[in-house]
Chain A
Amino acid sequence: MPTFNDFVSTLKSDLLDFAKENLEEYKEELLKDGTLFIEKTKSDIERWTEGLASGALSKEDFEFLLKGKKDLAQMETLKQLGLSQIRITKITNGIIDVVVGSAVKTFL
């Protein structure tokens, strides 16, 4: 007859596997997105500086583009915030499955 301790032990092990898999994947996605944004911003600003020096961009154009990059960074941050919430919802649903799955494995 399985006991409550058996269930807790199975649940701990299942949750650990679940967390490892999901959190590692999320950490990698976040780092990839953040690095890409920084690299793109750097190359954009370099190109705009050249445009300003050559006269292809006015001072007002340059300022507008820089401020636009700030707005874009805010939108990107909001996207990441939203995706984090979605990830939490998915993880929560996954935990429910793990809890139920562990109970089924232990008692049925």
Chain B
Amino acid sequence: MNIYKIKPIFVFILIVVSYLTFNSCTSISVFSPEAYKQAVDLKVESLNLMSFATMPYADYEEEVIYLNTELDKAFEFSKGRPDNEISTEQWKILIDKGGNLIGGFLKRWEAEGTLSEMFVIEMQLQVSDAFDTIIGLESGKIDPSEFK
């Protein structure tokens, strides 16, 4: 075996592998079972509470305050994870009280007292899809064990 013929090959492989490894590390957070469970639980809780929005807000104020706190916690948890900007931006849109998904819905319920049945049903579909975008992204993330 001629060592002088092989040397440049290993240098080449080393450069390619180092370059690709470095670039692959600068992308997106790995899968978090905790974040996944949090999103699934909050989806169920949000859709359940929304179904009561045809009734007076005053009767459900405590539940709404509790849900808003849980949603804020999920946002903060997402924000605290490294390389997790995309998921955090999703949470921000979902819970924005000035927006038109769960945050805006709960705000509108508070402002108007009660909401119409068709509006509530249609908003449940939208909020369900919105949570699914977060859950879908999280479940698509690479499991840390795949890097081992």
Give A residues with C-beta under 8 Å from B: 1, 3-4, 7, 40, 44, 47-48, 51, 56-58, 61, 64-65, 67-72, 74-76, 78-79, 81-83, 85-86, 88-90, 92-93, 95-96, 99-100, 103, 107
Contact = CB atoms under 8 A, between A and B. Distances in A.
A76 B129 CA distance: 9
25 contacts: A4-B9, A7-B9, A51-B118, A57-B118, A58-B116, A61-B116, A64-B108, A65-B123, A67-B99, A68-B99, A68-B126, A71-B101, A72-B101, A75-B94, A75-B133, A75-B134, A78-B86, A82-B28, A82-B141, A88-B27, A89-B27, A96-B21, A96-B24, A107-B6, A107-B9
A44 B122 contact: yes
Nearest to B118: A56
A104 to B, nearest CB: 10
Which of B12, B89, B100 has the most A CB atoms < 10 Å from its CB?
A: B100
Contacts, number: 131
B100 A67 contact: yes
B87 A82 contact: yes
B20 to A, nearest CB: 5
